[in-house]
Amino acid sequence: MKSSSDLDWEFGAIPMIEPEYLGGILATSSDIALLIDQNSTVHSVLLNSSEKTFGNLSHWEGCNFNNFLTVESKPKLQRAIDRIKDGETIFYGLELNHEDNALWQFPVRYNIHSLGDPDKILLLGRDLRSLSENQQRLIQAQLAVERSIEEKREFDAHFKILLNGSSEPIAFLNADSGTILHANHALADLLDKDHADLQGMKLQSCLADKAGKRDFAENLSLAAHGKYELAASFAGEDGPRDVKIISEIYRTAGIRVLMCRLTEEAAQPEDNREFVNNLVSAFHNSSDAIIFTNNQGTIQYANERFLDLVHAGSKNEVISNNLAEYLGRGQIDLALMLENVAKSGSVKVYSTHLKSGFGTKIDVETSVSQNNGARNALIAFIVREVTSIDDTRVRAARFTTQAQQDEMSARDLVGTASLKEIVSETTDVIEKICIQAALEMTNNNRAAAAEMLGLSRQSLYVKLSKLDI
């Protein structure tokens, strides 16, 4: 049974459409409108005025519609025409691929309507090119994902074969926590553990020495940077098993990973092991601040004393920061120390001050050293706070003596020259004192001294010549 709204359409509630408006309505309600006969001859072509990609299709009129269809689309059109001949009034969703002189192709989805005249068929089409392009992009993306998955599977297979095929115990650890990410069967045999239980376990939990668990992961990282072997003793069913560990550190997926190779046959002598353990203990418990940086001054390790001096809450607040951020003269101090340690291998004493996050400044003396024999060696900074009363008194006495000498010199000049000449003379004296101090602090590095004084190199050279320095 038809609804009242259907009856409205049938009985003329909608007025008849004037012929001059019909073409525009058909064109705007679709991207392309075609009027063909049952022999597939095109009688009329209407294009949506907003759709410019079709170009001019007026040459289709009077031609067989099949001339502009791909091979697989021609039988689809004929089947649709046959169904219209058999009495269907509307045929929905006929997708045809068009081609025009092999210059371009485009897909269109048509709704086919019978117009009452048995020899007239109306086709209203929607351009499917944007949908087709999206589908192609989706297919390409899916193929890329599948290739990536297949490559990962292949890589994982190779990795597992190589890892478990090694007779040497190997473990991949999270460098921060010491958690085992991957391990081979040889490591499981060494630790007397089931291989399935190793992943997620902390390697330090297997140590025979309970006291060494806390800093084990950090010690491994230090050994990786210093390129030395770390000795350890793991608990086994037959008693402690002494091993040496060679670690290499790298970064992947945002985390630092340690690849550790363990062996029993060439374990470090007891005295070497004790020596390394003592070094690690001295680093953590030193009353002086100790910082390890790379060649650019980026902090890799820092002990608790350094955190106290700069008022940092945890190591995470300073690790990966540049040491220049905490030095009194910033990059100038750091550049001078790095330059001198690169030339001579060490800097005995360098005076500066540290800045904290609260804006306070602490006078310090810094010693710098580098192991030039190691590949990718770290640079060690030992920072000592200078707050003694004696030091303060020495500085005050030095300042007082210098001030008295300057005052006596100025008094001697009165009456022998004009005020302008006296001021000029004393200015030269002050300049000379400042330049000599800068040269002394920079170990006679004139470029660095000029930067410290805020002078150009040329200006400094002129003053050196003028003041006979």
DSSP assignments along 295-346, one per residue = TT-BEEEE-HHHHHHTT-SSGGGTTTSBGGGGBTTTHHHHHHHHHHHHHHSE
pTM of the model: 0.37
CATH architecture of 410-467: Orthogonal Bundle (1.10)
**What are 414's strand-pairing partners?**
417
Closest CA to 29 of 41, 17, 12, 39: 17
Cα angle 208, 211, 214 (rounded to 5 degrees) comes to 105
Q: Is 410-467 in the same CATH topology as 166-280?
A: no
CA distance 125 to 468: 94
Per-residue burial over 123-150, b = 16 or more CB atoms within 10 Å of its CB, e = otherwise: bbbbbbeeeeeeeeeeeeeeeeeeeeee
pLDDT of residue 419: 64
Closest CA to 247 of 175, 162, 320: 175
Closest CA to 92 of 109, 116, 117, 72: 109
Fold adopted by 166-280: Beta-Lactamase (3.30.450)
pLDDT of residue 290: 92
Query: Are 198 and 178 spatial neighbours (Cβ–Cβ below 8 Å)?
Result: no
Out of 3.30.450.30, 3.40.50.300, 3.30.450.20, 1.20.1090.10, select the CATH number for domain 4-127.
Answer: 3.30.450.20
pLDDT of residue 183: 92
Return the residue matching tokens 């006596």. 408
pLDDT of residue 455: 81
Going residue by residue through the chain, which has 469 residues, state the pLDDT in tens, using 9 for 90 and above: 555 555 555 555 555 555 555 656 666 668 888 888 888 899 888 888 776 677 778 888 999 998 888 889 899 888 888 888 887 777 778 888 888 765 667 888 888 888 777 688 888 888 887 777 787 888 888 988 898 889 888 888 888 888 888 888 999 999 888 899 999 998 988 888 888 889 899 888 888 877 678 788 888 888 888 778 888 888 877 778 888 888 988 888 788 999 999 987 544 455 566 777 788 888 888 889 999 998 888 998 999 889 888 888 888 888 889 998 898 888 888 888 888 888 877 888 888 888 876 777 888 899 998 876 555 678 999 999 886 444 544 454 454 455 455 555 555 555 555 666 666 666 777 777 778 777 777 767 777 777 777 788 777 777 777 777 7
Taking domain 286-387, whether its CATH number is 3.40.50.2300 is answered by: no
CA distance 198 to 176: 17
Q: Give the orientation angle of helix 419-441 with respect to helix 389-413, to 10 degrees.
A: 150
